[in-house]
Copies of this chain bind each other. A is one copy, B any other.
Amino acid sequence: MTDGLTLYIPEPPTRPGDTPDFSHLEIPAAGAMPRPPTDAPAETLRDMAYGLVRVLDDAGQAVGPWAPGLSPEQLRQGLSAMMLTRLFEDRMFRSHRQGKTSFFMKSTGEEAIGAAQSMVLDRRDMCFPTYRVLSWLMARDYPLIDLVNQIFSNARDPLKGRQLPILYSARDYGFYSLSGNLGSRFGHAVGWAMASAYKNDDSLALAYIGEGSTAEGDFHEALTFASVYHAPVILCITNNQWAISSYAGIAGADETTFAAKAAGYGLPGLRVDGNDFLAVWAATQWAVARARANLGATLIEFFTYRAAGHSTSDDPGRYRPADEAAGWPLGDPVARLKQHLIAIGEWDEARHTQFESELVERVRAAAKEGEAVGTLGKSKPPVSEMFEGVFEKPDWRVREQREELGV
């Protein structure tokens, strides 16, 4: 018998003032994981959840069975989407500091995920995003000016001022409506995928969720439906180690991997280096092939790191070592893809610098254009837009209230 039980509360290895420490992470070498056939039964794939699919090695070479064999053109397109994402977010973050918008969030360090997946998925597929996959839209050339106008909530905001900045919706770009609620759209992806199967269509769904948000009941319910009905959906957990101030251990990461959750539903679960554009691509391609062959859902954990603060309201220096990001053992996804392109002779520093300034200019131009329309509080859609779209047709309440407000 014990002296009584004690309550265990997980804590991260380091806090502000400590030296960042990632020594507890096991990082397998690039190329080490096998690539099972896409029609392998899920029960033969359980080990995949405890490894880490990696393609780019330290020298920037693509190695092992998962190397997707991309063309230089594809690689450069991916790099472009990632760089554009980062530059755009940096600019808008500054705009927030200047009071031009109410709120902003960056995806720094996680750009490979949305960029690669956006390219692998088809135009007819639908992604159910989180707020941290802007690179999905960038890889599909969503107009920067529409982003800016949404972020500034100005008169040209495509969402008519109704949504918080960055909670985009872009149906034509395969990007489902975002909302502030975490996790609650994960199951919509499953429903969408089931609808596609119901119609004998072949469009797939792809959904994102943060590692922190996997604790929501919605996550489990979505996986249950995906499993039971063999829904053609790719369910992606972006494990960026943090949920605002809470480290991944508060979501269960100290107990097992997130990919391990797949086994409980009889689904394949892959664990993938999320900072490796090629690994993300390859794993996604594998899951897509499986889903399009009517073999159902795959759960993928992307192992990555949230290099910036959670949002403009956050100061990560309050809860983690200031230099933790720099120590992240999987590096920076932009730098790694750039290194790869250089290593295969398809890129160089000069081109990179030149290209970067072109992108900076594009971003600047879009920001300026948006500012000319107006920033938060200086410009907004007609107030009547507040009353539109509550129902398909307004009822008397909306009509009367509109009248009362005189709009």
Residues of A within 8 A of B (CB): 1-10, 42-43, 46, 194, 196-202, 215-221, 224, 227-230, 232, 249-252, 254-256, 260-267, 292-294, 296
Contact = CB atoms under 8 A, between A and B. Distances in A.
A293 B3 CA distance: 9
Chain copies in the assembled complex: 2
Nearest to A249: B228
Given A4-B202, A9-B229, A256-B266, 12 more contacts: A2-B202, A2-B293, A5-B200, A5-B202, A7-B194, A7-B198, A42-B255, A220-B221, A224-B251, A228-B250, A260-B266, A261-B265
Given A260-B266, A264-B262, A224 B215 contact: yes
Contacts of A194: 7
Nearest to A224: B215
Given A215-B224, A220-B219, A261-B264, A294 B2 contact: yes
Given A260-B264, A260-B266, A228 B201 contact: no
A265 to B, nearest CB: 6
Nearest to A262: B264
Contacts of A229: 7-10
21 contacts: A1-B202, A2-B292, A4-B199, A4-B200, A4-B202, A5-B200, A5-B202, A5-B232, A46-B46, A215-B220, A220-B220, A224-B252, A227-B252, A228-B249, A228-B250, A252-B265, A255-B265, A255-B266, A255-B267, A256-B263, A260-B264
Contacts of A263: 256, 260, 263-264
A219 to B, nearest CB: 7
Contacts of A267: 255
B197 A5 contact: yes
Nearest to A203: B5
Contacts of A5: 196-197, 200-202, 232, 292, 294
B252 A228 contact: yes
Contacts of A219: 220
A291 to B, nearest CB: 8
Nearest to A299: B264
A86 to B, nearest CB: 33
A198 B6 CA distance: 6
A223 to B, nearest CB: 9
Contact of A220 (B7, B217, B294): B217
A262 to B, nearest CB: 7
A4 B291 CA distance: 11
Nearest to A269: B264
A1 B292 contact: yes
Contacts of A2: 202, 292-294
Nearest to A220: B220
A194 B9 CA distance: 10
A230 B42 CA distance: 29
Contacts of A6: 197, 200, 294
Q: Which of A197, A201, A262, A263 has the most CB of B within 10 A?
A: A263
Contacts of A218: 217
A230 B294 CA distance: 39
Q: Enumerate the 10 nearest inter-chain pairs by beta-carbon distance, A residue then B residue, closest first.
A: A217-B217, A255-B266, A220-B220, A261-B264, A256-B266, A4-B200, A5-B197, A7-B197, A8-B230, A264-B264
A202 B4 CA distance: 5
